Structure 1
Amino acid sequence: MSTPGQPRALAPGLTPTAWAIPRGLIVLLAAAGGVVAIGGMKVSSGLLGPLFLALMLTIAVQPIQTIVQRRGKPAWVGMALALIAALAIVIGMIGMLVVSAAQLATELPQYTDRVDDLLAVARDRLAELGVDQTQIQNLLSEIDIGKLVGVIQDALRGLLGIFSNLFFVLALLLFLAFDGMSIGRKLDIIARERPEIAYALNAFADGTRKYLIVSTVFGLIVAVFDGAALWLLGVPLPLLWALLSFITNYIPNIGFVIGLLPPALLALLDGGPWLMLWVIVLYSVINFVIQSIIQPKFVGDAVGLSVTMTFLSLVFWSWVIGALGAILAVPLTLLVKALLLDIDPTTRWVNTLISAKAHDPEPVPGSPVAGEEPASSVD
């Protein structure tokens, strides 16, 4: 017999069994941890939004540093060029938005009389349908061009408020650009020690760059066609609406609707219902063909996400981070996919379910999955 405090001897032929957590409890704990993490991200959305924006911009311009270093130039030259490119994107986009919104704010007050005429027509039509005058008055009293101008001015102040975070974004871009000078060597070391982690990080970076390239190219195409159509129809501020089409192209699934509403409303004020109808028809044809038929195929092939996953990503990240989360929904989903799925061969099969088309999981060089001997690791 074993004495107290000593492990009990096993019978001959038996081996000790390892204690394991039940799978259901693992799932429950993982779900609870996910809820806590999502709550933390939502609370700190004001910090995470600019951080992710700076990270996406750094990934987008990182090839500049790589090309410069491969040509034998000093690393600081590539860092400077990449930083200039990222700053040009941020400052140029904000500058165009502020100027365009200011033009819109000065343009809208000119349509005060037109709004009154449209309200009078609507009042007469409602009266012909038998609607009570009191109800008509209560309904139409909420529509005021002055209120619309106030909304535009508030939007302008909100855009100017971006500059309060702009310094944070610029500082992050500077620090990330410095780190970018040695990121290649760091990834080489990680690839030798932890090939799975290197694979996940490279998959995230490559997918993000492909998504940004595809969205930018198709955004420019859509902006050119939309701007040309509005110019031919005589809708005011066609360049502003073309810029809006370009920006909303980064918002999956519903970006087209967001880009359509302002020019359609301005067309109604400027030329009446028929001009608004033409804007809706042309926008629908252009954007449906490009954004709903052609672009999703290229995006799905580039990032490995199905249309359903893309839409759910949009809803989720918009709720967590806000408007910036809608623009960065796909890159953020790629980051989560890299950290939770691509990093572990046992969970990489989930990519087949969430991707746009069925494919076998890619083997990781230097790992047993690829049929090679695993690299030595340091704990």
Structure 2
Amino acid sequence: MLITVPLLTVLLLLLALVGSLVVSVAQLVRLLPSYADRYQRLIGSITQQLANLGITQDQIRTMLSKLDLGSLIGLLQGFLGGLAGVGSAFVVVVLLLFGMSLDASPTHDAIRALGPARPHLVGALAGFARGTCNYLIVSSVFGLIVAVLDAVALWIMGVPLPLLWGLLAFITNYIPNVGFVIGLVPPALLALLDSGPGKALAVVVVYSVLNFVIQSVIQPKFTGESAGLSTTVTMLSLFVWAYVLGPIGAILAVPLSAFARALLIDADPETRWAVPLVGGHAPARE
């Protein structure tokens, strides 16, 4: 019961997240066609500015040939549909964790029994568990803070669908280094269509300030070196796991790479020379 209740709570929250994404994406699909006229005026303004710079009409047509509203709608639909798929994948992960939690007690006993024979492996797994739990908790808390602040700021500025963009900011907070950019582009583009360059610039500034203060200044003080990965290794792990598992791999890149480090480096004294190359310190043995 002590395990079942928290997992069911998380599962219900994830179901609510997926449901909110589906509803918000449906609202976006209905909203975008109303911006057709503004989009054409924006393209006309860009065309005039390019012509003033001496670019020929043929070159302009070539550059803008794929910038039609239908393509933009299709791109956003595919992107946000992928996020809904990520939410569904999260539900599957939680169900998997629920099944694993049922085996938690015997697994814990089995790992402890390995202590005398494989102390380094047990210490590595224990360090991975502590670091990953800390990383996920802190990322979730600060992701929620950023999401709420982003949504409130967008609502104050009058950008349509602030709830959707807040949910997007929360999900992309788990993507290391580039998640902020992924969460910024869609609301900035919608602000550009809705109110022009000034509103889009305001969205970029607000997101940048919130991201820098919360995610770059405050959050690292709490996460520290919990994941045990350097910035370079984190970026590489993002590309690798996103290629292997798709969007869910990008979100789980840090925990998956931390687990690989625990098994391949921390568990073997002969490979611990590689610890400085991946970042962090070897976990303390229990």
Q: 1:117 aligns to what SS in structure 2?
A: helix
TM-score relative to the length of structure 1: 0.68
Of 227, 233, 236 in structure 2, the residue corresponding to residue 309 of structure 1 is 233
In the alignment, does 2:51 pair up with 1:107?
Answer: no
Q: Tell whether 2:275 aligns with 1:351.
A: yes
Q: Aligned match of 1:246 in 162, 170, 181?
A: 170
**Which blocks of at least 5 consecutive residues in structure 2 are unaligned?**
none
Residue number in structure 2 paired with 1:92: 16
| Conserved? CA contact 1:235–1:263, under 8 Å | yes
- One-letter amino acid of the counterpart of residue 241, structure 2: W
CA distance in 2, matches of 1:250, 1:83: 19
* 1:272 aligned partner: 196
Give the letter aligned to residue 65 of structure 2.
S
Q: What do residues 230-285 of structure 1 show as CA deviations (whole Å, max 9, x unaligned)?
A: 12211111111111111111111111111110111011111101111111111111
Alignment of 1:1-379 (within 5 A): 77-155=1-79, 158=82, 169=93, 172-356=96-280, 361=282, 363-365=284-286
Match of 2:223, as an amino acid? V
The letter of the residue matching 1:206 is R
Q: In the aligned structure 1, how far is the partner of 2:179 from the partner of 2:86?
A: 21
In structure 1, C-alpha distance between the alignment counterparts of 2:229 and 2:84, rounded to whole Å: 34
Conserved in 2, the CA contact under 8 Å of 1:341 and 1:348?
A: yes
User: Does the 8 Å CA contact 2:230/2:279 hold for their aligned counterparts?
Assistant: yes
1:79 and 1:266 map into 2 onto residues whose CA distance is 42
Q: CA deviation at 1:159?
A: 5.7
Rounded Cα–Cα distance in structure 2 between residues aligned with 1:348 and 1:145 = 53
Q: Unpaired runs of 5+ in structure 1? A: 1-76, 366-379
Structure 2 SS opposite 1:235:
coil
CA RMSD of aligned residues (A): 2.6
Give the distance between the partners of 1:251 and 1:171, measured in 2 at CA.
22
The aligned amino acid for 2:156 is L
Aligned pairs, how many?
286
Q: Which residue of 2 aligns with 1:23?
A: none
Tell me, yes or no, if the aligned pair for 1:79 and 1:180 is still in contact at 8 Å: no
The share of aligned pairs that are identical, in percent, is 51
Q: 1:322 to 1:341 in 2, by over 3 A?
A: same
Q: Which moved more, 1:177-186 or 1:103-112?
A: 177-186
Find the counterpart in structure 2 of residue 51 from structure 1: none
Aligned-partner Cα distance in 2 for 1:159–1:362 = 34
Contact 1:300 1:307 survives alignment (8 Å): no
Structure 2 CA distance for partners of 1:185 and 1:215, relative to 1, 3 Å: same
Shift of 1:138: 3.4
The answer to whether the 8 Å contact 1:102/1:156 transfers is: no
Could you tell me how far 1:82 is from its partner in structure 2?
Answer: 4.1
Q: Deviations over 1:318-363 (max 9, x none)?
A: 233222211111101110111011111232343344335xx6x555
Specify the SS of the correspondent of 1:305: coil
Q: Contact (CA 8 Å) 2:17, 2:87: kept in 1 or not?
A: no
Residue 302 of structure 1: SS of its match in structure 2? coil
Supply the distance in 1 between the matched residues of 2:262 and 2:36 (Cα, whole angstroms): 52
